[in-house]
Amino acid sequence: MLLEITNRIVHMLPSTRCFALKRALYRLCGAKIGRNVRICSSVSILGDHPLTIGENTWIGHETLILASAPIQIGRNVNIAPRCFIGTGTHEIDSRGRAIAGRGVSLPVTIGDGSWLCTHTVMIAGSSIGEKSITAAGAIITKNVPAGELWGGVPAKFIKKVV
């Protein structure tokens, strides 16, 4: 309930201002947020599991973060507009009433210095290594090693960047 109220307050603030107030409000909800984290007002953070955001990180317009398992976002990370970071999924149940079987929540990790370009999707259990880049529209379904550029649907290795 507190997180819901916080999101509503944050959404009323100027989009790229009042960052200290936004940090304070999300900290009241239990998030661990480092110094100089800048969260745009149109970002939505939902869920009741630990969220950690390292210092000097930018979270862009209309990004959606769903934490049904821990989410760790490193220091100096740039998350472009309209990214999705989610920890929930389902087991496939071909014998059940619905193919989406039992719900599963798996953590997501984004390494220090990484850059998620616009419309990146990170699914449950995926991670991005330190100083890696996801191309615009990439769907991250596994672990991206440090220092690499990945893109596509599902995302695949493109080249080393470090």
Please identify which residue in the block is written with the tokens 């210095």: 113
State the Cα–Cα distance between residues 151 and 162, nearest whole angstrom: 16
Q: Is 90 a catalytic residue?
A: yes
Nearest in space to 109 (alpha carbons), one of 148, 139, 138, 140: 140
Alpha carbon of residue 155 to chain centroid: 16
Please identify which residue in the block is written with the tokens 């939902």: 46
Of 11, 49, 61, 90, the active-site residue reads 90
State the Cα–Cα distance between residues 26 and 18, nearest whole angstrom: 13
Supply the residues annotated as catalytic.
90
